Each structure stands twice: as structure tokens, then as C-alpha cells.
Amino acid sequence: MTLTAVLSPSWTSSPAATPRVVLLHGFGSNERDLPSLAAWLPAHLPWASVRAPLEMGYGAAAWFPLDPSGAMDEHAITTATDALWDWIDAHVPDEAPVIPVGFSQGGLMALQLLRTRPARVLAPVVLAGFVGRDPQPADAELATSRPAVFWGRGDADPVIWPDAIARTQEFVDGHTTVTARLYPGLAHSVAQEEMDDVKAFLRAHI
């Protein structure tokens, strides 16, 4: 499974040790969706927007199938995580930290990167996202190290199930040093106020 991505102009010209932002879109979107968020990234950071592996037709893609009940295909999540790491290993210098910024399903993938190879990951940003159900290899390590994570969501989001929100709250409280923000009136989307908070979070932790 080979992933593709849209790269910022500075991706290849930045010094090898410069952190790289990896943008991870949501279900039914594509790699052209999140580059607009680059305006809120610290100016020196190169970024890549990676296309999810599950093709849905008409240009849309997903990281894993969704079920109306909220059930998730954990095998598909693992497969997508492995494919994303393969892309990172092939395109990100070994000395460069990876900053995953994910929306919805992409937020889950950002946490998957943290939960599988935390030494490679810096300051994940989860936007209207959630955490998977199954334990991951580095969960015990994270419970001790408590890395910084940003988790933002709207209080009018009709898409993320309440049990997924509760599960994510329990995970970030027990495994991270979380900056959690709840935005009044925001549905399943991203707001300028939220991105201003993301910018401040990244400046504080990079």
C-alpha cells in the first residue's frame, strides 16, 4: 500500500532536522483539504498533506471504513497506520520530528502515530477527532511520559459519537499532557479561533 501526498514548497529544501508537519484529512475528503491550515503553522515548518489509502470514488478517500453504529475496523486502522509510517519513513529525514495534524478520522491517525512510535512524534494536533478502541504498543510508555497533545472540538458536533468523546477524554487525561479546547456552536468543522489556539500550542512546544 503506497500513499501519496501534496508537499509544501519547503519540504525538500528545509534542513534535515526541521520538524515536518503531516496533515491528515478526514473521512470522505482528500489530500487537497487541509493545506489551507498551513497559514496557522509556524512559518518555518514544511508540511505534507497525505492521502488516505481507502478510495471512495469521486476523489474522496478514508483511512478506514466507518460504521453507523460507531464500530471501527481495528485491522484496517492498523493497516493504515503501518502505511502511514511507511510513507513517513520514506519521506521524512530520520532526525526530523513528525508533527501530525489530523481532522476527524485524521485526528485518530495522529494519535495512532503517537501511540505506536512516540519517539518520532512531536505535539500532535487533533481537530474534531477521537481515539481508537484497541490498546496500542506505546500506551504504557505514554502514561509515564505524558507528551503534549492539542485536542479541539465543537460543542455542536453531530458527527463524533458521545462514547468516542468519552473514550478520547479518558485517553488524553491518562496518557498525555493535553491542551483541550471546546468551541461553542462549532459543528464538525474547524474555526479560526481554534486554529489560533493551535498556532499558540505549536509555538509553545516546538
The strand pairing partners of 146, in sequence order, are: none
Structure confidence at residue 73 (pLDDT): 86
Measured distance CA(107)–CA(123) in Å, rounded = 12
In three-state secondary structure terms, 103 is: strand
Backbone phi and psi for residue 148, each to the nearest 5 degrees, phi listed first: -70, 135
Backbone phi and psi for residue 173, each to the nearest 5 degrees, phi listed first: -65, -35
Cα dihedral 172, 176, 177, 181, rounded to 10, equals -30
Structure confidence at residue 70 (pLDDT): 64
Per-residue pLDDT 10s for the chain (206 aa) are: 789 999 999 999 999 999 999 999 999 999 999 999 999 999 889 999 999 999 999 999 999 998 776 678 899 999 999 999 999 999 999 999 999 999 999 999 999 999 999 999 999 999 999 999 999 999 999 999 999 999 999 999 999 999 999 999 999 999 999 999 999 999 999 999 999 999 999 999 99
Structure confidence at residue 69 (pLDDT): 67
The identity of residue 16, as a single letter, is A
* Nearest of 161, 35, 36, 42 to residue 108 by alpha carbon: 161
pTM over 0.85: yes
